[in-house]
Structure 1
Amino acid sequence: MDLEMAQRLVDRRKAAGLSQEALAAQLGVSRQAVSKWERSESSPDTDNLIALAALYGVSLDELLYGEADSDADGTEDGSTGAEASDEAEEAEASAEFTDCSDKPLVDISLTRGIHVIDPNKGEEVHFGWSGIHVTNERKGEEIHVGPSGVHIDTLEDDGHSVHANADGTVVIDGEQFSSWKEAHDKLDHHGKHFHTKLGRAWNKLPFPALVALAYMALGIIYGAWPMGLFLVFLIPIYYALGDFIDRRRLSKLIDGVYPAAAITWFLYMWLCLEQPHPAWVILITIPIVKALMRWCRKQWKHRKQA
């Protein structure tokens, strides 16, 4: 989709007084899809184009190609002096927008509020009568503060959804709590929900502090300061085991244990045995294993949804 059509979609939406979130809700698509249309990264399909035209009260030709046809009709009637001038100004403004596409776009209106888009960073900020809405397309983050409460989404694979309601209740990842205190009691500071008492106790143990004490003991008693540094790699392994105990997710266990084990083995081969080659090959396998585990989680999620 070209930039001119993308800009028309932006203009039509703003003229209708709709935010990207509101438009997405009316069309039954994600806000990210609307954002990609308006940044010319993708095009609406036929059904969505028809729905957009009906929503804005225009024809498909007007939505796709602007108002060139009506301007042409006016030229035949000999009454397009001012219209041709307006069209030239619009084309100049469009060209200016294209040339300045690397700068944030700002729209200020008493009815629509303040709307700022930074295409390069994938960020969008809106201040209006409905509240404050902030999105970051690249990081997959979305925050809305309004009369209905606070809504936070981190849309990536391991992200969380948080919604504070006007009655004081809190919904985190679809689970409702009577208050922030109840949510705090049942979740850790990362928003992770514990399914078992053993899992909660495992993760609450200050294991990094114990590792630090063990390192000091090895250094003071045995003088093993360099070798003691390998204890640090026990920390991610410990918490990966805790997550597995609590959730029984083998892919997350492998995802957490394998990188730490691979790096530990490579450092041992390099620093202790002076054999960095071909031990470095193990490092290449880390992103492969992590990608494989992520794929397994997505496949499992799709299977559960089906």
Structure 2
Amino acid sequence: MTLETANRLVQLRKDHGLSQEELAERLSVSRQAVSKWERAESSPDTDNLIALASLYGVSLDELVRGTASPVEPGNVDDPLPEGSYFEHKAAQEEKEREHKRRAFPYPVLVAIAYVVLGACFDLWHPGWLLFLTIPLYYLPASQRSPLKLLGNPVMITIIYLLLGFWCNLWHPGWVVFLMIPILNAISFK
């Protein structure tokens, strides 16, 4: 960092009526770090430069160079109109898809399926297991990969109950609960 930039940092801090301690507190750095910046012994990292520019209400160019860098007319595309912003289309579409998914009345569908299974096929007893799928349906998208879904405690409980009810494997079936930490450890790698 040049001495000129360091002096600019001192001047901006004083213009905004901040002490080194107050500035350090706002940036979540030590007072010694601010002091070193102002003596040109070290330079603030990029995050701190951005925070300083935001705090002082200046651009990064103004903060580092002293004046805004001139932009040649030929290098600028059509500027965005005032008040416009960038929107990430894929993220927005994912949010909309997730919102639609959460708006679907899945618990009502499960209740209807339970009544149909019970009334038509006399499967009241195993049919109630469908209700355990409701928390799985409302998992966030990041938790719905097959490995994470299989390591979910609710899914493991469903597997255990199915092994017990249909195969009468209550005793050896409890071993599936040991899969929870193993699958979670694998899925977070």
**TM tier relative to shorter chain:** 0.3 to 0.5
Task: Calculate the TM-score normalised by the size of structure 2.
Answer: 0.46
Higher relative contact order (CA 8 A, sep 6+): 2
Higher strand share: 1
Of structures 1 and 2, the larger Rg is shown by 2
Task: Calculate the TM-score normalised by the size of structure 1.
Answer: 0.31
